[in-house]
Structure 1
């Protein structure tokens, strides 16, 4: 059974205040963008299909740009797969299992808030239950050349 995964199709309210023509921010326009560095709006997968990572997700675990996997299971926030290339052949992995910001994204998002009353953060656990904290991911490789 195949499953569709969609990108977010709304714009940030701060973007709507910019000096930009609003038709450029319409969901229909944003969802139709096809660009080499940007994933398509809709991704349709089914168990047994081969996929390749386009970004480094977890280098220590071998989940790097170019790693090939076979999709095994499809969930709402998780894709279960088996690695079929490189040194991690046979490893079972979960993609998208943890909803976390990459380094710097939370800081950037929070730095754009103009007042405390304008700040709202919704954090959900794996079961969709609201939480009061999240994980700030820091890759130790960032400090290698300091």
Structure 2
């Protein structure tokens, strides 16, 4: 029985030691919960920051190149100055030519009208002179004129 008592005593000591250890672990756990751990990320930041700076530099260069290309493309949509001047000159010449032609046609029509009236008067004068100089023709004309009425 002495062995059982020794074993029981040993078991009680172990249990009491286990309780002490358990309490100590609970205290440490509570202390650990209160401690805020801030990791040291300087190595990570330095490892990430240099490629980020390079990437920003590359992005700036690309944006600059893109803006240059955009400016060149917008300028390329414009017509050259010499082409605009040439087209304007040709259009102006065409308008002047058409205007002068219309003006000359009106003058030709007016002069033709004048010549027509002048010719008509000459024909009437010539006819009257002919009628007055030929009494037979005058009689025939008067007969013809009475038949028409």
User: In which range does the TM-score fall when normalised by the shorter chain?
Assistant: under 0.3
TM-score when normalising by structure 1: 0.16
Give the structure with the higher percent strand.
Answer: 1
Relative contact order higher in (CA < 8 Å, ≥ 6 apart): 1
Larger Rg: 2
